[in-house]
Amino acid sequence: MTERKRVFSGIQPTGNVHIGNYIGAGRNYVALQDSYETIYCVVDLHAMTVPYDPEELRKGKAHMARMLLAMGIDPKRSLLYYQSDVPQHAELSWVLGCLASMGQLERMTQYKEKSDKSGQYFGLFAYPVLMAADILIHRVHAVPVGEDQTQHLELTRDLAERFNHRFGELFPVPEAIIPEVGARIMSLTDPTSKMSKSDPSPKSRVNLTDTPDEIAAKIKSAVTDTGSEVSYDPENKPGISNLLEIFSAFDGRSIDELVEEYRSSGYGRFKAAVAEAVIAGVQPIQERYASLTDAEVAQVMEASAEKAREMAAGTMELVRDAVGLD
C-alpha cells in the first residue's frame, strides 16, 4: 500500500470565518483528508504580528478550532492543534531565519501591505520564516494555498533547498495545492476585491455564523452590474459572476447550468436562489458548531498537540544534529 503524502495548512484565529474561507480553504481541508495525511494548525503566533487584544486572541483561537471541527475536520484522520502548543515551530523558525536574506523578506507583498497599516515590527517582517517553519517542521509534501499565498510558499521551498544544500537532504520541498474553483470568493460590496475578514463593512461577507435572515439580506444587497441578464463574465460582470461562483459552490451544479436556468430570471429572483443555497449549505456547519462543547474542543486540541510535539521533536533532533547544535 502506498504511503500517503503529508499536507499542512495554518489558519489565522482572527475574525469570523466567512463563506469565502469555507469555499476557498475549509471545504478543501475536509476533502484532503480522503487522500493525504493532513495536519492543520491554528496559527496563534502569527496573530501576534500585528497589534491585538489578548482576550480577543483567546476567543478567536477557540472559535477557529471549533469552526474547523464543525466544517468537517476529523480528529481521527487529521491533527488539529494550536501553533503555540508546539514550541518546535519557533525553534525551527530561528534556524531557517539564519538562512533567509533581508531582501527576500522585504519583497514579501503582504509585509508591505500590513506594515503600512500596523507598523514595521520584526514579527511582521519575519513571519514568512515562521510560516516556512510551520510547514517544514512536519516535513510535509504539499500545502493548500490561495493564489495570494504562493509567494510565501516559494520562500518556504527556497529555504528548504538552502538547508538541504548546506546541511544535507532533510526536508521535502513542498508543492502547492491550489483549488481550481472557488479559490477567490470576492467581496459582496466590491466584487473586484477578495472577501476578507478584515473588511470594515459587515455587508461585504457572509459569515458561517450568520442567521438565515442576515444571509438573505447580505446577498440581496450584494453589488451587481448594469443590465438584468445573469451571465458569467468576471471582467464585465464581476458582481453577478461572484454570486454564480458562490451559488455553484453551495448548490453543486455547474455555473453553466445555473446560467441556463437563471439567465432571464432577473437579479431579484437569482439573488433569492443564491441566498437559499447558502443558507442550506451552512446549516449543517452551524448545527455541528452549536453541538460542540468547549471541553470537547479543548480535548481534541490537546491530544493533537501532544502528537504534533512528538513529530516535531523528531524533526528537530535531525535538524539540531545537522546544524551542529547536538
CA distance 81 to 85: 7
CA distance 114 to 118: 6
Tell me the catalytic residues.
Answer: 114, 194, 197
Amino acid at position 208, single letter: L
Count of CA atoms in the C-beta half-sphere (13 A) of 157: 13
Residue closest to 316 by CA, chosen among 130, 82, 158, 139: 139
The three-state secondary structure class of 185 is coil
Using an 8 Å Cβ cutoff, are 185 and 24 in contact? Answer: yes
Interval 22-45: pLDDT, tens: 998 899 999 999 999 999 999 999
CA distance 10 to 33: 15
pLDDT confidence of residue 1: 40
Terminal alpha carbon distance of the chain: 36
Cβ count near 109 (within 10 Å): 10
Specify the pairing of strand 78-82 against strand 37-42.
parallel
pLDDT confidence of residue 202: 94
CA distance 181 to 150: 16
* DSSP state string for 209-238: T--HHHHHHHHHT----SSS----BTTTBH
Let me know if domain 6-178+293-323 sits in CATH 3.40.50.620. Answer: yes
Q: Does this model's pTM top 0.85?
A: yes
CA distance 223 to 257: 22
CA distance 198 to 218: 17
Query: Any bridge partners for residue 37, and if so which?
Result: 6
User: For 244, left (φ over 0), alpha (ψ -120 to 50), or beta?
Assistant: alpha
pLDDT confidence of residue 195: 93
Output the CA torsion sign for 181, 182, 183, 187: positive
CA distance 323 to 326: 8
Q: Which helix H or strand E contains 276, and what residues bound it?
A: helix 267-291
pLDDT confidence of residue 59: 95
User: Residue 208 is placed in which grid cell?
Assistant: 458561517
Amino acid at position 24, single letter: G
Give pLDDT tens digits along the chain (326 positions): 457 899 999 999 987 899 999 998 899 999 999 999 999 999 999 999 888 999 999 999 999 999 999 999 999 999 999 999 999 999 999 999 999 999 889 888 776 666 655 677 888 889 999 999 999 999 999 999 876 678 889 999 999 999 999 999 999 999 999 766 555 799 999 999 999 888 899 999 999 999 999 999 999 999 998 888 999 999 999 999 999 999 999 999 999 999 999 999 999 999 999 999 999 999 999 999 999 999 999 999 999 999 999 999 999 999 999 999 98
Where in the chain do CATH 3.40.50.620 domains reside?
A: 6-178+293-323
Using an 8 Å Cβ cutoff, are 191 and 239 in contact? Answer: yes
Interval 307-316: pLDDT, tens: 999 999 999 9
Using an 8 Å Cβ cutoff, are 117 and 88 in contact? Answer: no
pLDDT confidence of residue 179: 67
CATH classification for the domain delimited by 202-289, as one of 3.90.180.10, 1.10.10.10, 1.10.240.10, 3.40.50.261: 1.10.240.10
Where in the chain do CATH 1.10.240.10 domains reside?
A: 202-289
CA distance 35 to 236: 38
Cβ count near 302 (within 10 Å): 12
pLDDT confidence of residue 64: 97
